Structure 1
Amino acid sequence: MTLRARLVVARPRFRLDIDLEVASGQVVALLGPNGAGKTTALRALAGLTALDGGHITLDGDPLHTFAAERRPIGMVFQDYLLFPHLSALENVAFGPRCHGAARADARRTAAAWLRRVGLAEHANARPRQLSGGQAQRVALARALAVEPRLLLLDEPLAALDAHTRLEIRSRLRRHLADFDGAVVLVTHDPLDAMVLADRLVVIENGAVVQQGTPAEVARRPRTDYVARLVGLNLYRGTAAGQQVKVGDMLLSVADHLDGPAFVAFSPAAVALYRTRPDGTPRNLWQARIEGIERHGDNVRIHLEGPLTASADVTPAAVADLDLSPGQRVWASVKATETHAYPA
């Protein structure tokens, strides 16, 4: 294991206390709502925020005893923080120079890294002459030029527009795959996390609430935040066989289990009706439409009732059913569309 850390940072109204392990060659993404402690954790790893407890061990070295400038770390900040008066080449060479490399050697290293990130022809450009995607690649090259054992990325794609983000995310994934150290990525974007990370660590209120591979976290969310992140309706109840009691409602589910349980289903699994449907759908309830919004190619309907839920329908269905806020509708979900698992 390359990185092992327990990060404890105490503030008057906030306390971060998390354990973190990152293997060599692994990318771990820290996810969480605003104020959860993600950036505090990253700054603590970098030595920019002092620990109030815990430790940071990197390849067996007690990193928490080192000053920030002595830690073998590369960091890419959200706004990149390139030196505006230096060229791209000089920005990348800055790190090796700070580590004692001769000017000529530092410039050779920087030129090599600019070639690797596809910016050799922009070596003499100042930051103001670079696009957002180019500036991000210069910042990444600067971080990697010092040959770090730990790479820290703070919202590295947040400053990019949607089109550029797609291209740079793909490039970043390739560069991270070539890096043999540990990587910790902070992001609020679930797609960035799912594409770039090998493992997700979800933080809420300064504590780890869930962790696992992207597939594991997406399939079995354990908090409302994670459920929203991966686009699922999530409920907690008590299971008995193939039924889960959630509040006053008894949900039929496909899975067989007993005891505290979560039930999750996709908004696309929710069917809406203006009148009570014929037959006896097992999971059927009456709800009030709280809101309607465009969601990709579909329309997301927010429902209030025995189950607060989101339903995704087509624009044609909105017109056919004449759906509008405040209206009462019937909603149903097939048991086969649900996923139940232990809480």
Structure 2
Amino acid sequence: MTEPDDAAASRTAGAAREEGLDARLVVDRDAFRLDVALAAAPGEVLALLGPNGAGKTTALRALAGLVPLTAGHLRLDGAALDGTPPESRPVGVVFQDYLLFPHLTALDNVAFGPRCRGAGKARARAAAGRWLERMGLADQADAKPRRLSGGQAQRVALARALAIRPRLLLLDEPLSALDARTRLEVRAGLRRHLADFEAVAVLVTHDPLDAMVLADRLVVVEDGRVVQEGSPSAIARRPRTDYIAQLVGLNLYRGRAEGHTVRLGTGAVITTTEDLSGPVFVAFPPGAVTLHRDRPTGSSARNLWRCEVNGLEPHGDQVRADLRGELPLTADLTAVAAAELDLHPGAPVWATVKATQTHAYPD
């Protein structure tokens, strides 16, 4: 079920019906069914997030006209695009592998779009030159793709998509082919270019950082359905599925609240500061968990569970412990703390969390 996290989301959807994107994409492919509603206003960047196989790429291909709709509708600036061939849509696409023409220079790659839309060669090349200059690639105009770095190729692909002045820009994992260092630099540049884009942009990614940095609003898709949508901060604050919780790095549980006590289906109990009643979610970060080899005495933490270390892995400059027991959870601690506690798979531990570090909210 769709769970909008911002009141603004519904207002945006209404405004987008006349200007911007208004779509319900229904696609049946073998046993899989995609059924998602998307709306975005001009100037808005919408990110589709979800696990592999959720339907993100199918949705993007349906927007581009590469996959036909089984049902639903697709309107852009009030005009119906259902059945319109891909080459006739005011849509620019940046593919995951960029798909630059290897035999063309950067300039001619960018000029390709305007040429296909009827512009003369001189006019198309002049427009392409302006786009390359805008992307900081004027000195690479005569270079062919094999001579470009990953970041340069990504900017040429973006320039090619923007050169046709699309009313809808689609970006399919645009940073996934880059190494970590280049990704950081190109992400910052892409954010600037998207901020200047006056139409709708839809970004498909599995990387939460890309989505959080680049998008105004997130739409999370699982099993072909929208499970949550809202601003990045709202979704990070109140995740509604295990996938989203893992995405934003939180322990997440569903239970029933009676005042400050939340009882889970497993029988485990979590104490919170919120006073609620009925079905709720409870979340807390791995960094809020403190581990002990012996049952702590005199601790101020209201939550205490007996667990066993299931696994350990590096997580940035810390160690992330995967725990099983009364309450399955993850905990972050320093390498020094992990060594002092002699943590290893199978080691028994006690986990504590202060009630003030939990966050409960209605289901």
Question: Shorter chain as normaliser: what TM range?
Answer: over 0.9
Distance 2:254 2:247 in 1: 17
Shift of 1:242: 1.0
| 1:320 to partner: Cα distance | 1.0
1:257 maps to 2:252: no
Alignment pair present for 1:168 and 2:186? yes
Paired residues in the alignment total 343
* Structure 1 residues 214-235: Cα deviation after superposition (integer angstroms, max 9, x where no partner): 0000010000000000000000
| Residue 272 (structure 1) aligns with | 291
How much has 1:250 moved relative to structure 2? Answer: 1.6
The Cα shift of 1:291 comes to 0.2
Residue in 2 that maps onto 1:32: 50
Taking the TM superposition and a 5 Å limit, the aligned residue runs for 1:332-343 are 332-343=352-363
Q: Does 1:201 align with 2:245?
A: no
The match for 1:305 is: 325
Shift of 1:51: 0.4
The amino acid across from 1:190 in the alignment is P
The SS at the match of 1:118 is coil
CA distance in 1, matches of 2:165, 2:333: 50
Cα RMSD for the two superposed structures: 0.7
Q: Displacement of 1:329 after TM fit?
A: 0.4
| 1:116 equivalent in structure 2 | 134
Ranges of 4+ aligned residues in structure 1 off by more than 3 Å: none
Question: How many angstroms apart in 1 are the aligned matches of 2:202 and 2:39?
Answer: 10
Q: How does 1:48-67 map to 2 (within 5 A)?
A: 48-67=66-85
Helix, strand or coil at the partner of 2:110: helix
Larger displacement relative to structure 2 (111-120 or 238-247):
238-247
Report what 1:71 is aligned to: 89
Q: How far is the alpha carbon of 1:63 from its aligned partner? A: 1.0
Counterpart of 1:94 in structure 2 is 112
Provide the C-alpha distance between the structure 2 equivalents of 1:16 and 1:6, rounded to a whole number of angstroms: 10
Aligned to 2:251: 233
Gap runs ≥5 in structure 2: 1-15
Number of the residue aligned with 2:163: 145
Aligned pair 1:181/2:199, yes or no? yes
- Give SS of 2:209's match: helix
| C-alpha distance in structure 1 between counterparts of 2:275 and 2:201, whole Å | 39
Q: Distance in 2 between matches of 1:171 and 1:322?
A: 44
1:315 alignment counterpart: 335
Q: 1:326 aligns with which of 346, 349, 360?
A: 346
Q: CA deviation at 1:68?
A: 0.9
String of CA shifts for 1:74-107, please: whole Å, max 9, x gaps: 0000000000000000000000000000000000
SS at match of 1:65: coil
Q: Does 1:223 align with 2:241?
A: yes
Letter in 1 for 2:282: V
CA distance in 2, matches of 1:18, 1:332: 40
TM-score, normalisation: structure 1 = 0.99
Letter in 1 for 2:341: L
TM-superposed deviation, 1:279: 2.3
Aligned-partner residue type, residue 331 of structure 1: A
Deviations 1:230-289 (A, max 9, x none): 000000000111111012112110111111100000000000000000026421010010
Which residue of the partner structure matches residue 29 of structure 2?
11
Q: What is the one-letter code of the residue matched to 1:302?
A: D
For 2:325, give the aligned amino acid: G
Q: Which moved more, 1:222-231 or 1:314-323?
A: 314-323
When the two structures are superposed, what TM-score results if normalisation uses the length of structure 2?
Answer: 0.94
Shift of 1:303: 0.2
Q: Output the CA distance in 1 between the equivalents of 2:33 and 2:250.
A: 29
Partner of 1:104: 122
The 1-side partners of 2:239 and 2:177 are apart by 28
Structure 1 letter corresponding to 2:69? L
For residue 6 of structure 2, what is the aligned residue in structure 1? none
For residues 275 and 151 of structure 2, what CA distance do their matches in structure 1 show?
49
